Amino acid sequence: MKMKINGRTKVCGVIGKPIAHTMSPVIHNTLACELQVNLAYLPFLVEENIASAIEGAYHLGMLGLNVTVPYKSDVIGSLSEIDELAEKIGAVNTLVRQDTGYKGYNTDLPGLYRAMESDGVHIAGEEMIVLGAGGAARAVAFMCAAYGVKKLYLLNRNVEKARLVAKEVNDKSEREFVIPMALEEYPQLPNKKMIAIQATSVGLSPNVEDVVIADSAFYDKIHTGYDLIYKPTNTKFMELVKANGGVAYHGLKMLLYQGIIAFELWNETIVPEDLVNMVYQKMKEEMGINE
Ligand code: ATR
């Protein structure tokens, strides 16, 4: 289907620095075309002065924006309202137009949740492992709190950082469910198979042979592994999960669903699953991924 732009076309876009690599225009313009929504989505390189950019976007009547690196926390100062999960995480990637300004959401983590659900992986009531205690891992821990994970073992090289994240997430979610551990303490994990999320930067291209824990005894405790990395689409972590009989997924679907959820927020709609799959294929084609 062809896109038609006219006097009533609503405009959305993504702001960041750099921005040329973004997949978001593919996601949103495909959804708009297929669902016959009169919306156009463009990339905007914002070199500096993010607050003026947001103000300008609002006064230009833009329906919404996605926000990417390095502005996900800077943008919070320009919002009229913020969603509860986004506030806890301290990072906003989606702005939705309201009467008095933009409301900020974080759709990255609900995106991971929707990706997991679509893979048939349900985290409510589960005990889980998260590798890392940086920005991504911390956000994952808040997502686990929001979606009812029973217990979370948070393993990090710097155990002090793991302790800080655990304390913050436990305090804000008012339950003691995150247990901080040093990486080398993995033999003390319970002897059962769990879901694990790899939320460090280790294994990212070009360092594709790197992995946070290499011992196969660790992977005996994992039945399902998610790597937030999607370059490469088969990380060493994923390989080790699979080599020990588990199922492993990369982070590309999370990227897809953060966009799907943003589109749903802007247009007050639900994107049907067959269309989600079609957009996913399109994204993979665009990125030269054929699996
Ligand atoms: P992001 O925003 O992607 O989470 P970050 O906040 O810089 O990035 O966090 C990077 C994460 O990867 C941290 O958990 C970091 O561990 P430390 O807190 O101990 O530094 C982890 N990481 C990076 N390089 C690592 C390595 N070589 N071995 C183990 N963990 C590593």
Residue appearing with tokens 């799907």: 260
Going from the Cα of 133 to the center of ligand 1, the distance in angstroms, rounded, reads: 7
Question: How high is the mean pLDDT of the chain?
Answer: 97
**Residue 161 pLDDT grade (very low, low, confident, very high; cuts 50, 70, 90):** very high
Atom 6 in ligand 1: residue holding the nearest Cα: 134
Going from the Cα of 278 to the center of ligand 1, the distance in angstroms, rounded, reads: 34
Q: What is the mean pLDDT of residues 245-263?
A: 98
Ligand 1-lining residues (CB < 6 angstroms) = 132-137, 156-158, 161, 200-202, 212
pLDDT tens, residue by residue, 57-72: 999 999 999 999 999 9
Residue appearing with tokens 């088969």: 234
Which residue, among 121, 110, 68, has the nearest Cα to 247 in the 3D structure? 121
Q: What is the mean pLDDT of residues 6-31?
A: 97
Atom 12 in ligand 1: residue holding the nearest Cα: 200
Q: Is 72 considered catalytic here?
A: yes
Q: What is the chain written as a DSSP string? A: ------TT-EEEEEEESS-TT--HHHHHHHHHHHTT--EEEEEEE--S-HHHHHHHHHHTT--EEEE-TT-TTGGGGG-SEE-HHHHHHT---EEEEETTEEEEE--HHHHHHHHHHHTT---TT-EEEEE--SHHHHHHHHHHHHTT-SEEEEEESSHHHHHHHHHHHHHHHTS--EEEEEGGGGGGS-SS-EEEEE-SSTT-TT-TT--S---HHHHTTEEEEEES--SSSS-HHHHHHHHTT-EEE-SHHHHHHHHHHHHHHHHT----HHHHHHHHHHHHHHHT---
Packing angle, helices 24-34 and 273-287, rounded to 10: 140
Atom of ligand 1 nearest to the CA of 136: 4
pLDDT tens, residue by residue, 24-63: 999 999 999 999 999 999 999 999 999 999 999 999 999 9
Q: What is the mean pLDDT of residues 202-220?
A: 97
Atom of ligand 1 nearest to the CA of 139: 4
Q: What is the mean pLDDT of residues 248-270?
A: 98
Cβ atoms 234, 250 nearer than 8 A: yes
Atom 16 in ligand 1: residue holding the nearest Cα: 157
Dihedrals phi, psi of 267, to nearest 5 degrees: -110, 5
Going from the Cα of 200 to the center of ligand 1, the distance in angstroms, rounded, reads: 5
Q: What is the mean pLDDT of residues 258-262?
A: 98
Atom 7 in ligand 1: residue holding the nearest Cα: 134
Dihedrals phi, psi of 112, to nearest 5 degrees: -65, -40
From 2, 10, 17, 72, active-site residue: 72
Going from the Cα of 130 to the center of ligand 1, the distance in angstroms, rounded, reads: 12
Residue appearing with tokens 């609900």: 110
Atom of ligand 1 nearest to the CA of 132: 14
pLDDT at 3: 80
Atom of ligand 1 nearest to the CA of 137: 4
